[in-house]
Chain A
Amino acid sequence: MNCQEIKNLMDAYLDGELDPIASQRVEQHLRDCPKCEQAYEVETAMAHAISQAAPYYKAPPELRERIQVSLREAIGMPASRAATADDSFPVRRPEAVRRGVSFDMPWNWLALAAAVILAAIVASSFLPRLRQPGADQFLATQLIGSHVRSLMANHLTDVASSDQHTVKPWLDVKLDFAAPVVDLSGEGFPLIGGRLDYLDNHSVAALVYQRRKHFINLFIWPTTPADSKARETVTREGYNLLHWTEGDFTYWAVSDVNVSDLQNFKRSFEQQIPPH
């Protein structure tokens, strides 16, 4: 490859979007060519700067309220339940109908209760069939749920440490299996800590890694015969799930980072665990 070809591929290489063979050839060239290597360094620094130093504009809380109010307004539902006691919103229902719906609330609550009961029935009918078709979907839902809860409830880790020699013994005591724990700081996935989680009716290890501003939950449990049938990648609700089986264990990585980052993560992880 000459320098011009490298220049054309550099962006895709930087973004982890090249196939392994092309990646290898770019790497080879970068090792041999100081000029391209320097150009790549600048590119990397800039990419890093955009993700780290450029402002990420989080939504202010009042915007969420505004949206919830306007959505309720759109379906003619009292806005007060969303966020505000402000009564200045136009009421769309005719006055007389409004007078008649004093049992508006109970009806809605009944509907809500019905929805909850229905959800419970659906869930309970799924539970005994966990190992049958549809179980993958259900497992994915559980995994995403656990990932989201770990981020929301300020309960990311039970044991917060970037030291694998602290995290591993802690988990070993709590679980009836010895999950492999490795730190991947060198590969851009620093270990944040470990957590005990409960999935699919048994205790599992959850390792938490960071990828720039994002977190990856890696769930680990001893493989059962049904596990290996699951699909390798699942994308749902903006989350990516990557699944693999290695040695005696089943792994599920869950995060909002993109699939290629997750695959890099998997590769790094596999390279670091001691061979069986």
Chain B
Amino acid sequence: MAATLEAEYVFGAEDLESRAKVVKFAVFQRHEEQGAAQEHELASFEAMMLPHLDAAHNLARWLMRNEQDAQDVVQEAYLRAFKSFSGFHGSNGRGWLLTIVRNTSYTLLKKNRAADLTTTFDEEIHASGRESVSPAAMLEHAEDAELLKNAMNELAAEFREILTLRHQEELSYHEIGEILKIPTGTVMSRLARARAKLREYLAGRMSQEK
């Protein structure tokens, strides 16, 4: 009924029966109330989620490996988050948001290039220098930002995300497990594999530079 009344109103007839006017005003007013409620919800959503924008962007940027995709992902993730915000009653807003950012990233990654999700590993590049780099040399080069960034970008998505969540967001195993939907034990073993791979890639790149 509301729809037909609205439709009448849209046609702009001014001299309507008073009964219809009253009903229409009620419909109209309900619109306004809904609007106010939505704005109120938006305000509390923004207060809770916008402080985590940097974390969201950083994760998306590491997953997508380019700025444009990262921004699209974050925008889409915020929209998705807002739509399901009424169902969110937890206390960890950052974890909840990062979960959505991650899911959104994977949707786009899958669409763009399925190959990226599995561990891509070029034996030829990395096999060469694995044994020849000493721990001392490793220590020396570890702070080389460019080298480190490139090596990290070579890792599979599941390793990139776990390294950034652990070392940049400084989340606990438990928090990481909640975001990645894996048990704590798996967080530990995946982190260990991620670090081992990163060491390998760093060693490979260092021996190439020689």
Interface residues of A (CB under 8 A from B): 8, 10-12, 15, 17, 38-39, 41-43, 45-60, 63-64, 66-68, 70-72, 74-77, 94-97, 100-101, 104, 107-108, 110-112, 115, 148, 211-212, 214, 235-238, 256-261
Task: Please tell me if B114 contacts chain A, counting CB pairs below 8 Å.
Answer: no
Q: Which residue of A53, A77, A108, A260 is within 8 Å of B145 (Cβ)?
A: A53
Set of chain B residues within 8 Å of A148, measured between Cβ atoms: 51
What per-residue 1/0 map shows which CB atoms of B167-200 lie under 8 Å from chain A?
A: 1101111010000000000001001100100110
Question: Chain A: which residue is nearest B141 at the CB level?
Answer: A49
**In the complex, what residue of chain A is closest to B12 when comparing beta carbons?**
A96
Closest approach, in angstroms, between the C-beta of A10 and any C-beta of chain B?
Answer: 8
> Once the chains are docked, how many angstroms separate the CA of A257 from the CA of B94?
12
Is B42 touching A71 in the complex (CB atoms < 8 A)? Answer: yes
The CA-CA distance from A75 to B177 in the complex, in Å, is 33
4 smallest CB-CB distances across A and B, nearest first, come from A238-B94, A111-B36, A59-B57, A57-B61
Q: How far is the CA of A96 from the CA of B11 in the complex (A)?
A: 7
Whether B38 lies near A77 (C-beta < 8 A) is: yes
Instruction: List 25 interface pairs A-B (beta carbons < 8 Å), by A numbering.
Output: A17-B188, A42-B199, A46-B195, A46-B199, A49-B142, A50-B164, A52-B143, A54-B149, A55-B145, A57-B57, A57-B58, A63-B74, A64-B50, A70-B75, A71-B45, A71-B79, A74-B79, A77-B38, A77-B42, A107-B35, A115-B43, A212-B170, A237-B93, A258-B170, A258-B171
Known: A54-B148, A54-B168, A261-B170. A115 touches B71 (CB 8 A): no
Task: State whether B192 touches A11 (Cβ < 8 A).
Answer: yes
Contact with A along B138-179 (1 / 0, CB 8 A): 110011110011001000000000011011101111010000
Contacts of B168 in A (CB 8 A): 50-51, 54, 56
Which residue of chain B lies nearest to A77 when distances are taken between CB atoms in the complex?
Answer: B39
Q: Which residues of B contact A76 (CB under 8 A)?
A: 35
Q: State in angstroms the CA–CA spacing of A94 and B8 once bound together.
A: 12
Give the residues in chain B near A77, CB-CB below 8 Å. 35, 38-39, 42
Is A107 a contact partner of B173 (Cβ separation < 8 A)? no
Q: Chain B interface: which size bin?
A: 35 or more
Q: A46-B195, A63-B74 are in contact. Are A236 and B91 (CB under 8 A)?
A: yes
With known contacts A75-B39, A100-B28, A237-B48, A42–B82 Cβ distance under 8 A = no
Scan B35-67; emit 1 where CB is below 8 A from any A CB, else 0: 111111011011010111110111001100000
Q: Is the CB of A97 within 8 A of B6?
A: yes
Given A59-B74, A235-B92, residue A70 in contact with residue B172 (CB < 8 A)? no
Q: Is B87 an interface residue (CB 8 A)?
A: no
Q: How far is the CB of A186 from chain B (nearest CB, A)?
A: 20
Interface residues of A, dominant DSSP: helix
Taking a contact as CB atoms under 8 Å apart, the answer to whether A58 and B42 are in contact is: no
CB atoms of A39 and B135 under 8 A apart: yes
- Contact indicator A71/B167 (Cβ below 8 Å): no
Q: How far is the CA of A70 from the CA of B80 in the complex (A)?
A: 11
Closest to B78 in A: A67
Q: In angstroms, how far is the closest chain A Cβ from the Cβ of B187?
A: 9
For residue B114, give the distance in angstroms from its CB to the closest CB of chain A: 24
Tell me the nearest residue of chain B to A94, going by C-beta: B10
- Cβ–Cβ contact B91 & A53, under 8 A: no
Partner of B57, one of A46, A63, A104, A260: A63
Partner of A235, one of B61, B91, B173: B91
Bound together, the chains give a CA A84 to CA B176 distance in angstroms of 36
CB of A40, distance to nearest CB on chain B (Å)? 10
Chain B CB within 10 A, most for which of A10, A52, A68, A71: A71
Known: A38-B135, A59-B57, A259-B172. A96 touches B10 (CB 8 A): yes
Say yes or no: A50-B57 contact (C-beta < 8 A), given A11-B195, A63-B71, A96-B10: no
A41 and B135 contact, CB distance less than 8 A: yes
Indicate if the CB atoms of B139 and A108 lie closer than 8 Å: no
**Chain A residues positioned under 8 Å from B94 (CB to CB):** 237-238, 256
Identify B82's interface contact among A46, A74, A96, A235, CB under 8 A.
Answer: A74
Q: Residue B188 contacts which of A11, A43, A49 (CB distance < 8 angstroms)?
A: A11
Could you tell me the distance in whole angstroms from the C-beta of A5 to the nearest C-beta in chain B? 13
Residues B172 and A258 in contact, CB atoms below 8 Å apart: yes
Q: Which residue of A lies closest to B11 (CB)?
A: A96
B191 adjacent to A15 (CB under 8 Å)? yes
In the bound complex, what is the Cα–Cα distance between A96 and B195 (angstroms)?
61
Kindly list chain B residues whose C-beta atoms are within 8 Å of the C-beta of A52: 143
- List the A side residues contacting B51 at CB < 8 Å: 148, 237-238
